[in-house]
Each structure stands twice: as C-alpha cells, then as structure tokens.
Homo-oligomer: A and B are copies of this chain.
Amino acid sequence: MRTLGAAARAASGVLSCADAAIKSRALKAMAERLDAARAELKAANGVDVARAAEGGLDAARLDRLGINDKTIDRMIDGVLQVEKLPDPVGEVTDLSYRPTGIQVGRMRVPLGVIAIIYESRPNVTAEAASLCLKSGNACILRGGSEAIESNRAIAACVSAALGDVQLPMAAVQLVRTPDRAAVGALLKLDEHIDVIVPRGGKTLIERISRESRIPVIKHLDGVCHLYIDDAADLEMSLSIAFNSKAEKYAVCNALETLLVAEGMAGQVLPGLGERFAQAGVELRGCPKAQRWLPSAKDATEADWQAEYLGPVLAVRVVDGVDQAINHINRYGSQHTDAIVTQNYARARHFLRAVDSSSVMVNASTQFADGMEYGLGAEIGISTDKLHARGPVGLHGLTTEKYVVFGNGEIRHR
C-alpha cells in the first residue's frame, strides 16, 4: 500500500502540470477504451454478479452492481461530459498590485492525491477517475469487494487510456486486494494522500471519519426541510412540497420534515394530505398538524431527526419563520432547506439565517445536485463546512495557492 501511495504521489507531480489538452485526450481515450471493452466489462461484471447472487446479496445492491450496455453508455457519456468541462487548474484570480510593487493573486491547483472509497456501483470507478484526472489529481480507488472484477476491468481501460497519451499509469490506481484491512492501511497513508472521499452508507463514512488522520470530504445525513410561510402561494406550496418529497425518495436531497406556518396550515395541509395519501406517503404530524391531517400518526422527537429515505414525512406546524429557522438549525443536518414565500423580508432572512449547504427560496429541495447547479459531474455532496460544502465538483477537488510576481522587490519591516 505504501508503494501504491508513493507511486500516486510521484504521478501527481506530473498530473498537476499536465495541460488541458493532454487531459482532454486522456479522457477521450478513456471513453474509447470503455466502448471497445464492452464484452470484457460485461464478462467481468458477470463474474461479480454471479458471486454476489450466490453470496446472497440483496436485490437492491445486486441491481446497483449490474453493468449492461445502457450503464456502459452512461459511463462513457459521463467521461465525455467531464472532458467538456473547463479545466479548473491554473486559473488565477484577484491578481492585483500592492503598494510595495508586488502583484499578488491566487492560482487554482490540484489537491494532490485523492483516495476514493466506495461501495457497490462499479460506474464510480470511471466517474471518480475522470473527475480526478480533469482536476489534475492522482487518485487511489478502493471499490467494494463485491465489484472487484468489474472495477478491475474498468481500471484496465483507464490505465490503457493513460498509456495512450503517455500520462503515468499511477495517476489512477485501483486497490486490488479485496480485504477490509486495505481501507485501514489507506487511512494511515497521510504522507501520500491529501484527502479521502468516502462514498457509500453512513456506517462506512462514519468509520472512515473516525479512523482517518487524513482530511475527509464527507456526506452524512440529508435531513432536508421545507418551510411553507404565511405569505406562500398555495399552488406553489403544494407542488414544491410534493416534488421535494416524492420525486424520488431514496436521495439525500429528498424532503424529510415539512414545516407549515400556522396561518397556512388550514389551506395547505388538507390538499397535501390527499396527494401524499394517493402517493402512499405516510405522514407523522405534531398535534396541530394532525388537526388538518386526521390520518397522520403522532410525530415523536425521533421523527424530527429522521432521514427516512422513503415514503414517510414528518409534518410540524410552526408560529412563523423564526420558529422554522430554529427547528431547522436544531434538527437539520445542514444539507438542503427551503422556504416557500412571496414575502421579500422573510425570504432574505431565511437565506441568511439557515446554516445549511444549500438554502432555497421557492424551489424543490431535489434540485440540490451538482448537475442541476451547473458544476458538471459531482463526486458527492459535502455536509462539512470547511473546504467543500454542498455538491462537490471539480472545484472541490482543487485548492488555491498564492502567486506573487515581482521585479526585485524586497521587504522593509
């Protein structure tokens, strides 16, 4: 593992100076190599799927593990989309002259070596490799052991593509040992790894955050809120509330708790109760909400903290915007929270006072996503405050350094 780390560090030196053109050529070559290797990819995946089915993997995870021509198409499209994004590396901003005569600015640069630890979906291998390559970072990929053959086949395409354009193959390395100890060893390579991005279930992410001495860009819960204000448009409220919850349940930007201003409860809740009932969404309400939602169960303290990721919604009636903000800052997970209102002052106050990675006015929480925000592909959504917050795209995989241009200036203290 130490050899792997040292090789990644050496490759990152080359990659950080690679120009946009060669990185583009590498990504195009990657897409071509994946396209040419369809048979090998499917065969390798077949081995994984058969082994996983034998081992009794549940249906949902088996489904995520599978590769077919459609998923290969999506993988290729993903790589080509990353290719088209502007190269973030080397961008210089805020370059200005100081009174001493020196010119000071900031240059965007790669982080260095990124380790990505993920679970069953093998397409992450291509996605992570392309994002790291484009942002000038070397990467070490550690996929789930159940996807090892698929990941090896994808990684072979990536290596071949790097070879095609004469970039170091160690720019993208796959950890080939399927044992759990490999993750532990990775977490200790603080000399060679600059940041770890875990993608997967909460248990994995918590374990990594706890054990790692290396900075982690992590995504924990998405306990998202929508607050329907007194001054909300009724139709808009119904539409945004329903979409935020029911467009897709098992996503981190799905609505988990609906807050309704007391003055709007009578107008909003009966209609919403009906729509959610039709969609099979179970409601759990505070006593005031239950007056308008007779079939709703009692919401408990645990419901305010819950990330259901399924067809369940907690509903609370609040006094107004301040109580809504307090509820969100207390129970939320600082992921995505929205207000529906036509009141200018309250919209402005909500935006400033809610301490979450995405704060929205009059839009569905399900928009919280790198593609929707225009970042291109994302490596994840960060619920941390430092460095990267919210959807993490190429920008989040880079940092800045100061650059100073002079003409012989010296400092006089």
Tell me the A residues contacting B by CB distance below 8 Å. Answer: 13, 16-17, 90, 96, 98, 100, 102, 104, 107, 109, 111-112, 194-195, 215, 233, 235-236, 239-240, 242-244, 247-248, 329, 338, 349, 351-353, 355-364, 366-368, 372-374, 384-387, 389-391, 399-413
Chain B contacts for A403, CB-based, 8 A = 351, 358-361
The contact sample of 22 A-B pairs, CB cut-off 8 A, is: A13-B353, A107-B352, A109-B352, A112-B355, A112-B385, A242-B410, A243-B411, A244-B410, A247-B412, A351-B403, A355-B401, A359-B404, A361-B406, A362-B406, A363-B409, A363-B410, A366-B411, A366-B413, A367-B411, A386-B399, A387-B387, A390-B401
From residue A263, how far is it (CB to closest CB) to chain B in Å? 20
Among A96, A404, A408, chain B packs the most CB atoms within 10 A around the CB of A404
**Can you add 9 more A-B contacts, CB < 8 Å, to A361-B404, A366-B411?**
A107-B352, A109-B352, A195-B385, A215-B384, A364-B410, A386-B399, A387-B387, A389-B399, A390-B402
Contact in complex: B410, A352 (CB < 8 Å): no
How far is it, in angstroms, between the C-alpha of A251 and the C-alpha of B284 when the chains are bound?
61
Contact in complex: A406, B360 (CB < 8 Å): yes
Q: Is the interface of A mostly helix, strand, loop or mixed?
A: mixed
Contact in complex: B364, A409 (CB < 8 Å): yes
Supposing A353-B17, A390-B401, A402-B390 touch, asked if A362 and B408 sit within 8 A by C-beta, the answer is yes
Contact in complex: A372, B98 (CB < 8 Å): yes
How far is it, in angstroms, between the C-alpha of A403 and the C-alpha of B338 when the chains are bound?
10
Chain B contacts for A215, CB-based, 8 A = 215, 384, 386
Chain B contacts for A195, CB-based, 8 A = 385-386
Residue of B nearest to A98 (CB): B374
Contact in complex: A389, B385 (CB < 8 Å): no
How far is it, in angstroms, between the C-alpha of A345 and the C-alpha of B325 when the chains are bound?
54
Contact in complex: A385, B111 (CB < 8 Å): yes
Contact in complex: B194, A360 (CB < 8 Å): no
Contact in complex: A373, B112 (CB < 8 Å): no
> Which of B243, B353, B387, B408 contacts A386 (CB under 8 A)?
B387
Contact in complex: A374, B411 (CB < 8 Å): no
Residue of B nearest to A326 (CB): B13
Chain B contacts for A236, CB-based, 8 A = 407-408
From residue A35, how far is it (CB to closest CB) to chain B in Å? 26
From residue A19, how far is it (CB to closest CB) to chain B in Å? 10
Residue of B nearest to A356 (CB): B401
Supposing A100-B367, A360-B403, A385-B112 touch, asked if A355 and B247 sit within 8 A by C-beta, the answer is no
Chain B contacts for A13, CB-based, 8 A = 329, 353, 355
Contact in complex: A372, B100 (CB < 8 Å): yes
Chain B contacts for A351, CB-based, 8 A = 107, 403
How far is it, in angstroms, between the C-alpha of A109 and the C-alpha of B368 when the chains are bound?
18
Contact in complex: A240, B410 (CB < 8 Å): yes
Chain B contacts for A242, CB-based, 8 A = 410
Residue of B nearest to A111 (CB): B385
From residue A108, how far is it (CB to closest CB) to chain B in Å? 11
How far is it, in angstroms, between the C-alpha of A233 and the C-alpha of B364 when the chains are bound?
60
4 closest A-B pairs by beta carbon, nearest first, are A363-B406, A243-B410, A236-B408, A360-B404
Supposing A13-B329, A240-B410, A386-B215 touch, asked if A404 and B367 sit within 8 A by C-beta, the answer is yes
Contact in complex: A401, B389 (CB < 8 Å): yes
How far is it, in angstroms, between the C-alpha of A64 and the C-alpha of B343 when the chains are bound?
54
How far is it, in angstroms, between the C-alpha of A244 and the C-alpha of B409 when the chains are bound?
10
How far is it, in angstroms, between the C-alpha of A352 and the C-alpha of B363 when the chains are bound?
41
From residue A11, how far is it (CB to closest CB) to chain B in Å? 13
